[in-house]
Amino acid sequence: RSTRSRIRVRGYKNQLKHTHVETQYGNVHCIMTRTLKANHPAILTFHDVGLNHKSCFETLFNHQDMHEIIRHFPVCHVEAPGQHEAAKTLHTYPTMDQLSEALPSVLKHFGVIGLGVGAGAYILARFALNHPDLVDGLVLININPSAEGLMDTFATKITGWTQTLPDTIIAHLTSVSNLQDEILTNHDLIATYRHHITTTMNQANVSQFFCSYNHRNALEVERPIPGGNINVRTLKCSTLLIVGDHSPAVDAVVDCNSKLNPTKTTLLKMADCGGLPQVDQPAKVIEAFKYFIQGMGYCNIIKGLCPPSSTVSSASMTRLRSRTTSSSSLMSLDGPRSRAHTNELQRSQISSHSNDEKRVRSHTDVSMDSISSVNQSVSKATEVAC
């Protein structure tokens, strides 16, 4: 039996409905802005380890720029079992695969645009792989599609022996190598999250969720090759990958981008940003989210979200890029794979000024204009520094 209560949160015009949904893998805490409607997309969020819907998404959804979106889309925040405030200790914990299979019980037959961070991004991606008919689009922040290797497992065990759980979680959310820099530059933010994990979260449940994430299976996605096998396992929906250029997940996100369908995937690297872009730079994330939604064609369905022209001009994307691009964001990765992606971006920026732009773009990564191009005949893979 579900329990319901209503509260009003500053920044939301609609009442939030809290519901515990029973699934075969345990109770899932859901927070909805309003009733979901059939044939009408909803935004489905899933948080990272050590966070819940408040600490992960409140800054983003309380931002004034987000109000335009949530006026048109109902929002359903999903919290992993035992991760809500004052949760009781769980004696067993579901795997990542099981958590993804719990989502159909929440959504029933409603289509969604998924917004996930870290572990939540992984869960939503697996959900989309197994239930492509229920997912219209995905915005995945800090996704890691791979399973932990032996060295990663060993490092996690050593960290567990030498650090407290809050410090381990903060290192996961920010960066192990730059943790001291994060503490110095974002002292208040780090202190807030440490306080949140220590005082409001059930640390036993957080530890179990973290362990489940560290034992995840690889998504085993594969990029379809034109002229080759086009029926490979991959995400079928439009996908926006977001990562800060100082995030510990930057290599994993770039690797994920290389494994997805280039005609449906956009990679957005945010300059001067750590592991929590939705908290550090919510306005930029929201702007990219708007273009992504418009590019999916929802502006033709929901009046008022898009400009009268029904498409967003290239100038809008150019302004976003010119305001936020930095050389560090383009060169923040090391290794052949990262340099290859950087070269693709540089080539695309050069080619965008040529007379053969349209012909070249179908074969190379291009600027972020493709997010907002609703009626474009050819989809493109995109990597852009923001």
Q: How far apart are CA 249 and CA 82, in angstroms?
A: 25
pLDDT of residue 249: 93
Token pair, residue 259, equals 């494994």
Taking only the tens place, the pLDDT of each residue in 310-333 is: 334 334 444 444 444 433 333 333
pLDDT of residue 232: 87
pLDDT of residue 368: 43
What strands lie across the sheet with 16-23, from one edge to the other?
4-7, 16-23, 26-32, 75-79, 42-46, 112-117, 135-141, 238-244, 265-270, 382-385
pLDDT of residue 93: 96
Phi, psi dihedrals of residue 192, rounded to the nearest 5° = -65, -45
Phi, psi dihedrals of residue 382, rounded to the nearest 5° = -135, 135
pLDDT of residue 154: 58
CB 384 within 8 A of CB 342: no
**Residue ranges, the chain, pLDDT below 70:** 1-15, 36-39, 109, 149-162, 175-186, 230, 299-386
pLDDT of residue 72: 85
Q: How far apart are CA 10 and CA 30, in angstroms?
A: 18
Provide the Cα torsion 140, 141, 142, 148; round to 10°.
Answer: -30
Provide the Cα torsion 323, 56, 210, 88; round to 10°.
Answer: 180
pLDDT of residue 335: 36
Q: How far apart are CA 338 and CA 344, in angstroms?
A: 10
Question: In Å, what is the CA distance from 356 to each residue of 348, 349, 353, 360?
Answer: 11, 13, 8, 6
pLDDT of residue 180: 52
Which residue reads 């489940």 in tokens?
212
From 249, 48, 238, select the one nearest 146 (Cα to Cα). 249
Q: How far apart are CA 17 and CA 32, in angstroms?
A: 5
pLDDT of residue 127: 97
